[in-house]
Amino acid sequence: MSQNVFQFVDVQRVDPPKKPLKIRKIQFVEIYEPFNQSQVGMQADRCLDCGNPYCEWKCPVHNYIPNWLKLANEGRILEAVELSHQTNSLPEVCGRVCPQDRLCEGACTLNDRFGAVTIGNIEKYITDKAFEMGWRPDLSNVIKTDKRVAVIGAGPAGLACADVLARGGVSAVVFDKYPEIGGLLTFGIPSFKLEKEVMQRRREIFEAMGIEFRLETEVGKDVSFADLLGEFDAVFLGVGTYKYMKGGFTNEEAPGVYDALPYLISNANRLLGFEKAQADYIDFAGKQVVVLGGGDTAMDCVRTAIRQGADKVICAYRRDAENMPGSKREVQNAREEGVEFMFNLQPVGVELDAHGRTCGIKVVSTELSAPDANGRRNPVVIAGSEQVLAADAVVMAFGFQPNPQPWMSEFGIELDSRERIRAPEQSDFAFQTTNPKVFAGGDAVRGSDLVVTAIYEGRKAAEGIMEYLAV
Ligand code: FAD
Ligand code: SF4
């Protein structure tokens, strides 16, 4: 096969088909069917190879997109997967969960009239297919050094850092308090976007590359940070952001009101067999659920509730549909699965029954102001517009803030005014903190963001660490 410059005129953009709704609504499985080689060939061939690939610039890890599209089109999957791993440590994950409409595909030249190339799905296909064919990273030419680095956090930032270190001959030991690697990839993002087996397969691959994982080990509790600083040549912090933002309304601590992440984690623990006690599982079967918020975490919660068998699931958001921060694709998926959306509603308090349990959420209607200095339209409450939505479970999905570890200040690791770890990319050694031996990246440095930006920072920090260690 060769590239046809006018393929995009003859061949429409096609996304992979979704599984039937009756399966989607009850099972925690990825909703998209995989592409086959013939579909990949057709879709990859739509790439114009436009000379100035905006998609590459917009992709946070700067993947060589047109080059691996060409290889995928020609069925040269093993060459494509080698190339994609030059810039990305978890391409099969990014292909599944990146908000492509805002990143690579949003920047595709074809986007205006013809529909962007389906970059994410092809990236996923290349990696999954290569693994199926038995491809594994080849480290046989790597010259081992005697340097050892402790990586705290097995989320995408920590994993990407360990990946680049291993490829550079540096031993990486990854510590995580959870019993499986992945961080939010495993315990936050639900299986209908990213099946758990994807990260389990990656763990085996990383282990075969020589990366050591010490799971169920919390730094600061099971092992001290001082010991790690003494034992290792450098330390990378990829500890994420885990402080839940609250609504500030009455009765938000009442039984029946949940923070989004503990709810999603309890569901992941059940699916993975990590549940310690039946009571740890938050079950919305048969319940009327109201999820407050309009981002991707809110979408993950409403769609999880549907699969648990909730009677009714409402997403209540304080702005309108156009101003929702979540991905349009995920909102559409939620609608298809039966979620009801209510816009311009702001919560003011949880209603309690005679036993003190949640029985509703009082909301007021809002209208949007003129755009502020940042172009954002803010919700303004309409007087006298109160109403109560019946609910026996309310989920707060308002986002996350950094939760600096208590031991950081003791070791001279400074934070910025928003409690993010100070670790600039542009410095002598990329992503070095104010303690020269300690590097950091991902959500803990940039605030709650994306998988692909965490991967970028983990990779760059590994380069910074290797320069610092002079290897
Ligand atoms: P994390 O993934 O949070 O990993 C941090 C790890 O550090 C955790 O495993 C934690 O256990 C460990 N850790 C922390 N402290 C310690 C300690 N003291 N000792 C040992 N281990 C420790 N992004 C997307 O791009 N697409 C999506 O679809 C998407 N969906 C999301 C859905 C939800 C519900 C959430 C919450 C986030 C979502 N995100 C999504 C954002 C994305 O998951 C994060 O930006 C990304 O995971 C950040 O990576 P990280 O490695 O910095 O941190
Ligand atoms: Fe697109 Fe994300 Fe893949 Fe980059 S990593 S090409 S942004 S899907």
Determine contact, residues 299/334, Cβ cutoff 8 Å.
yes
Ranges in the chain, pLDDT < 50? 1-2
Cite the residue boundaries of each domain of the chain with CATH code 1.10.1060.10.
7-133
In the chain, ranges of CATH 3.50.50.60 domains: 148-241+402-469, 244-396
- Given a contact cutoff of 8 angstroms between Cβ atoms, the answer to whether 439 and 461 are in contact is yes
Phi and psi for 250 in degrees, rounded to 5?
A: -70, 145
Q: What percent of the chain has pLDDT over 90?
A: 90
Residues in the ligand 1 pocket, defined by CB under 6 Å = 97-98, 152-158, 175-178, 183-185, 188-189, 193, 218-220, 238-240, 261, 264, 296-297, 300, 405, 442-444, 449-452, 454
Q: Residue 246, SS3?
A: coil
Ligand nearest to the CA of 239: 1
Identify the residues whose C-beta falls under 6 Å from ligand 2: 59, 61, 63, 65, 88, 94-95, 98, 100, 103-104, 119-120, 123, 452
- Return the DSSP state at 337: T
To the question of domain 7-133 being in CATH 1.20.200.10, the answer is no
- pLDDT (tens digit per residue) in 311-327: 999 999 999 999 888 88
pLDDT of 3: 53
- Confidence at residue 5, expressed as pLDDT on a 0 to 100 scale: 67
Considering the segment(s) 244-396 as one domain, its CATH architecture is 3-Layer(bba) Sandwich (3.50)
pTM of the predicted protein model: 0.96
Assembly ipTM: 0.99
Identify the CA nearest to 427 among candidates 417, 440, 411. 440
**CATH 3.30.160.60 holds for 148-241+402-469:** no
From atom 7 of ligand 2, which residue's Cα is the shortest distance away? 59
Q: Return the ligand 2 atom nearest residue 105 CA.
A: 1
Q: What is the pLDDT of residue 1?
A: 47
Go through 188-216 and write b for each residue having 16 or more CB atoms within 10 A of its CB, e for each that does not. bbbbbbbbbebbeebbeebeebbbebeee
Q: What is the Cα–Cα distance from 123 to 451, expressed in whole angstroms? A: 15
